[in-house]
Structure 1
Amino acid sequence: MKINFYKYQGAGNDFILIDHRVSPVKNIDYELVAQLCHRRFGIGADGLMFLQSHKDYDFEMLYFNADGKPGTMCGNGGRCIVAFAKHLGIIDKETDFLAVDGPHHARISESGEWIDLQMIDVNTINTDGNAFVLNTGSPHYVALKEDLQNLDVFNEGKSIRYNETYKTEGINVNFVEDKGDHLFVRTYERGVEDETYACGTGVTAVAMAIANYKNQTGHIKTDIKVLGGDIKIEFDYDGKSFTNVFLCGPAKLVFEGDVSNVPL
């Protein structure tokens, strides 16, 4: 079977997107997904998404990590699939869609390349030593660092992701340096098993962890720089719960093409 695919990136976090509205996805070949995401033997991406129809929402997002396995919520992927849905003419300026962690609302700029994506509310932050652990649709570990530009993120992140506490379920590992007017964040992602240029649920977790660390409350806006560009996080925080959470940033079409002999 020949399929048409689209390649999108959100702050350097890149994804393969496939319009699968004609028939729902039933049997997924995880090895094939991993092959398509491979950067030397496939298209190359941090993950793959199917956009499919849903009777109660504008569309449904099915996300798979670069290792081929089903993933938890991907924030940058969510912004990219919203841009994709606008490109397909499914939506215009706003949307409500379904992802693995539940419904999401999003607002779309006139250009269609800047997306404000509402994330889930978060009511719990735990600690692991000096680090913070929380779930923003995916589980995250957040540690403050100095001289983050020169940190060996791959090896230090991998050692945490595979330690005795987290190795069974895995965890995404975020390192953050407070630059005063913005936060600089680097992330080791499970499922990709490498550092990525950005992680949407990760920077959301970082902004929440820092607000908690600084005892900030009220309506909080945080500017974040990642290897792939700039992202903004907004939320309300009363000292216990994070609500009205929005992950805001770019989502751009890179190219489209066809893949043959794909059993989907």
Structure 2
Amino acid sequence: MTAIDLYARPTPDFAARLAHAQAVLQAAAAQNPGRIVQATSLGAEDMVLTDLIGRNGLDIAVATLNTGMLHAETVSLIDRINARYGLQVEVYHPVAESVVHFVGRHGDKAMYESIDLRKQCCGIRKLEPLARMLKDRSAWVTGLRREQSANRGDVPFSDTDDNGRTKLNPLADWSWNDIWHYIATYDVPYNPLHDEFYPSIGCAPCTRAIAVGEDFRAGRWWWEDEKAKECGLHVSHQETPAAAVSIIGARA
């Protein structure tokens, strides 16, 4: 069975959640012309957002991080997006010298040895390229959802990152069923690893399939304590600015 067979089904108020997500994206594009980007992980949620951007012709760039450790199935989505939507996905790579130095010093399995080394690896392969992606941008869009993990249970529709940029999470209140219902309805391209019980997909060494009954993100950094399971891309201590509240309307 495919992920669509397993999960795609309409849920109460889906139409309202879809309309709200579209409104958030449209307002953000209007308020940040030429200065807003979707930072896509190429997972199912982000493919929904890319489809909304592409189908509605929104002035939002689409960009991703190629860490050098992604599954081939993940990387292949970049060309599929370009072909399907007529977009040119921006691809940011880690600094080669930094990767060579880290691997030379700690080995290519350093992420399994300690949380500190794993986070150093994430810093080189994800955080530094993300900083370049967001340079000169005033806002960015992510596929974060409250249902994904306990750590994300209070994800807002709009926030501000540590550099004062507006960070939008239009799918914050969507369920996994909502995501796949949308994918099925609009025939959205998706990573075939989702059909093999990979709901959350990151770098290949740090991702595995999950078993029945396991949490959504159980396959990410499965050897670590649950509280450590973030790479740092979505850690912020800032409060939501008043300007961002005007984008998201009354939904909470």
TM-score strictly above 0.5 = no
Q: TM-score, normalised by structure 2?
A: 0.25
Which has the larger share of helix? 2
| Highest RCO, 1 vs 2 (Cα 8 Å, sep ≥ 6) | 2
- The TM-score normalised by the length of structure 1 is 0.25
Larger % of strand: which?
Answer: 1
